[in-house]
Structures are given as C-alpha cells and as structure tokens.
Amino acid sequence: MTARLIRGRTLTFERMPQALDDHSAYRYESDGALLFIDGLIQEAGSYETVRAAAPEDVEEIDHRPHLILPGFIDTHLHFPQMQVIGSYAANLLEWLNTYTFPEECRFVESAHAARIATHFFDEMVRHGTTTAVAYCSVHKASADAFFAEALRRDMRMIAGKVMMDRNAPQGLLDTPELGYDETRAVIEEWHGKGRNHVAITPRFAITSTPEQMAAASALAREFPNLHIQTHLSENHDEIAFTGSLYPDAVDYLDVYARYDLLGRKTLFGHCIHLSERERQVMSESGSVAVHCPTSNLFLGSGLFPLKAIARGEHPVRVSVASDIGGGSSYSMLRTMDEAYKIQQLLGERLNPFESAYHLTRGNAEAVSLVDRIGTLEVGTDADVIVLDMAATPAMALKAEVVTSLADELFLLQTMGDDRAIVETYVAGRPAKSALPGS
Ligand code: GUN
Ligand code: ZN
C-alpha cells in the first residue's frame, strides 16, 4: 500500500456554476489536502482532517500556495496528428487531404506508432490532461501502441481504431469487414485492461460507405456500453459532400441516426453548423457536442455556439476538447481561453468557474465517467493536477493584483499553459516530475 498526502488549496465542482456568485456549485478548501492510497482518493477535505486520517508514515507533499484541481479531460483529439499541428491549409478538406491523411499513413508501422504514443502521453502529462478521448489511425497497430502505452502509465484513456473505407489514400482504408473485425479485436484485447476504454470510431460519414456504417452499427449493438465517436457538421463543404453521399438522409446527423449511432455515449466532434432539427435530435438522444475551439479557429470552420446550444428548449450536452492536430495546443487552459473568446464574439459570457467546471467535472459527465474522474470525491481515481498562477514572469506580475479565486482561474485560463502545471498525479503518482528532462 502506498499512501501519499498532498496539501494545497483544493477546488472541485458538484455541478455547473450558474453565475460567478454561485458558490454552492463548488467546494474550495483554502488549506486542503488529499490522501491517495492505491491509486484512489482515500480522503479529501481540510488538511487537519485528512492528516488525522492518514497513516503515520504517509509521504506528505506540500504544494502550498498552489491550487489543486482534478486532472483535465480532453474529449476529442487525434494521437497520430502530433506532427500535423500547424499545417498551412485553407480549410478542413484541404487540410485532411494534403497533410493529415498522408501523415496518418505512417502509422502502419508499429515502431512509428509506439514512438508517437510515447510522445503523446508525455504531452498529456506535461499539460495536466489525465484522461483523453482519442482517435488512433485506421491501422490496428496504432490502437495497440496507444493502449499499450496507456496501460504502462496506468492512465484512464478512451480511444478507438478509426474505421474508414473510402475517400482517402489506399494506405488509409480498411473495408467494412476489416473495420469490424479489427475493432472487435481491439475491444477484446484492450477494453477494460488497466483503465483503457475502447470507443467505436467511424471517422465521419465522408470516409465510411453505408456498408461500413452498418458495421459500426452492428458493433454498437453488440457492445452497447462502449463510447462512439465521430465528426459532425464542422465545415460547409464537408456538410454538402456528406449530403451528396447520403442523399436519403434529411441532414448530416440523420446519416448517423439511420445507423443507430446516437446516444448518451456518443461524442460528435465540432457540431458547429447544426440545424434546429439536428439540435433537437441531439438533445433528445443525449448525444454530446464536442467543442474544439483552437481547431475551429485554426481551420476557419466557424464559431460554435457553446452557451446557446446548451440552453433553451432542446439543450444539448456539450464538452470541450483540443482536437490535436487540427487544434493547435495540447493545453486545456489554452483551449478554454479560445472557447471564451469565441463566446465573446457571439455576445455570450463564459465565467471562470464555468470554464474550470467544463475542463474537469463537465467533461467527465460528458463522457459518463464522473463516478471515476473529474472531481476530488473520495473513492474516485487519484488523477489530480497542481496549478501555479504565477508560473511565468508575466503571470507572476499579474498575479500580484489577483484577489479572488475567480480572478485566479481566469488568469490561469488567459495566460496559462503547460508551464502552469506544477505537477500531474496519475493514479496517485507524481507523473510530470518523473518525465524525462523535467
Ligand atoms: N473530420 C474527419 N476527420 C477529421 C480530423 O482528423 N480532424 C478534424 N478536425 N475533422 C475531421
Ligand atoms: Zn477530430
């Protein structure tokens, strides 16, 4: 049994804050502590009470004056796109065809996939992301490399072998049968091993034939507890192309609905240009719209109405994500800053508590894992981060005039990145300080 106690200011959410003064939405301890035993949070509360409950010989790490939060959760990214970040393209389809598909072809090589997987998990830990929902490439070897590395690091990850059988280079295509068989094999080999979760992952309607959609549908029926992830309504040309490929569907979402792919465990990346009908169907099915702000701005895809879509008569469940490598930062702080700016452009307010909620409990609820991650509740996974609002000289200068927790969260979001992550605890172990070169 390894027992570790960390001390600092702790913040965890119980629900979405409705306003800046909605203090009952969160719990904050100005001298707080967490006790980690065997990868779980065993005690949480004031330092005094946690210390009293801890074993005599507990290892104690004092992080004061820093802020302790649940680890960040990134609900959509592509692990084979680490070397695609910053590719100069006019729009989504040009970016996919010119840079992204050729790059993903390299993941047929297990050694390449393993090398990038190592870098991927290093970046997650460096940036304080303890759970990610990832697309691998079409190659089973890429999923094997991803899950093997996640298992080695004992991280809670959700990922899938991409299914795609048309409209891409030959080296990036499976078939309906192969996509089905290899996804099944990935599920059998990896789902539930360590903290791995396998997601059924048809890339998007453009790269899957109706036969492959039917295969994805069969998998979803056979494995109803698995997550499903795909892309939806990101770009106008993409939407028009999809309409031409599935002429019987009434809209883009209807393509997926016809194959029974909607539901509370389905994560739709982007969802920028949804019609009123699509919003209603998303809402009724409990499907999640995943907002990827740095990607949407980088590719010029559009301004996602995060606030508007989550309220009203047909509220849609939402989450936020980096979408590496259409997205340009691994940092969920940078991601949230761009989400904030998009809401500003749309005339909406996103308050700092709301933002911190989204990055932790909100994203955990979106992936239906709030019983395990996203809070500092006793009994959940000890995936926790420590943040320093004065991590850089410029941040330290601004921090001199910060007088409230809301100000501190807003400073972290506006100026912070991986440098603001002092430590990342994965299953109760300090993982960032253990990275090579740190
Ligand atoms: N739509 C289909 N594939 C992709 C991808 O890799 N990135 C983004 N941003 N959109 C997609
Ligand atoms: Zn994506």
Which amino acid residue places its CA nearest to atom 8 of ligand 1?
326
Quote the distance between the C-alpha of residue 225 and its chain's center: 19
> Are the CB atoms for 60 and 29 separated by under 8 Å?
no
Q: Which of 105, 135, 137, 234 to mutate to test the pocket of ligand 1 (most atoms within 8 A of CB)?
A: 234
pLDDT of residue 1: 67
Report yes or no on whether pTM surpasses 0.95.
yes
Ligand 1 in contact with 100 (CB < 6 A)? yes
Question: Cα torsion at 367, 370, 372, 377 (round to 10°)?
Answer: 160
Cis peptide before 86 (omega within 30 of 0): no
In this predicted structure, the answer to whether residue 43 has a pLDDT above a threshold of 90 is yes
Q: 380 CB under 6 A from ligand 1? A: no
| CA 44 vs CA 36, 75, 296, 416: distances in Å | 9, 26, 38, 26
Looking at residue 94, what is its pLDDT? 98
DSSP type of residue 139: S
156-198 per-position pLDDT tens digit? 999 999 999 999 999 999 999 999 999 999 999 999 999 999 9
Is pLDDT at 359 greater than 90 in this prediction? yes
Q: Which residues contact 311 (CB under 8 A, 6 or more apart)?
A: none
Q: What is the pLDDT of residue 58?
A: 97
Ligand 1, atom 3, lies closest to the CA of: 203
pLDDT, the chain, mean: 98
Task: Round to the nearest angstrom and report the end-to-end CA distance of the chain.
Answer: 27
Distance 100 CA to ligand 1 centre (A): 9
Mean pLDDT (whole number) for 92-118: 98
Percent of the chain with pLDDT over 90: 99
Alpha carbon nearest to ligand 1 atom 9, residue: 326
Q: Structure tokens of 97?
A: 């065809």
DSSP string, 29-74: EEEEEEEEETTEEEEEEEHHHHHHHS-TT-EEEEEEEEEEEEPEEE
Q: Nearest bound ligand to CA 268?
A: 2
pLDDT bracket for residue 422 (50, 70, 90): very high
- Ligand with smallest separation from the Cα of 96: 1
Question: Does the pLDDT at position 2 exceed 90?
Answer: no
Cα angle 231, 237, 241; round to 5: 75
The CB of 295 under 6 Å from ligand 1? The reply is yes
Q: Is the CB of 103 under 6 A from ligand 1?
A: no
425 and 71 Cβ atoms separated by less than 8 Å: yes
Tokens 């440098």 belong to which residue?
Answer: 419
Task: Give the separation between CA 86 and CA 253, rounded to whole angstroms.
Answer: 29
Residue carrying the six token digits 């009203």: 312
Q: What is the pLDDT of residues 284-340, one digit of tens each?
A: 999 999 999 999 999 999 999 999 999 989 999 999 999 999 999 999 999 999 999
Which of helix, strand or coil describes residue 259?
coil
* Cβ(234) – ligand 1 distance below 6 Å: yes
Cis geometry, peptide bond prior to residue 65 (ω within 30 degrees of 0): yes
What mean pLDDT do residues 130-153 have?
98
Q: How confident is the model at residue 437 (pLDDT cuts 50, 70, 90)?
A: confident
The whole-number average pLDDT for the span 245-254 is 98
Ligand that comes closest to the CA of residue 300: 1
**Would you state the structure tokens that stand for residue 45, as one six-digit string?**
């509360």
pLDDT > 70: percent of the chain: 100
Under 8 Å between Cβ of 351 and 19? yes
CA torsion, ordered 196, 310, 352, 29, to nearest 10 deg: -60
Q: Quick: pLDDT tens for 63-104.
A: 999 999 999 999 999 999 999 999 999 999 999 999 999 999
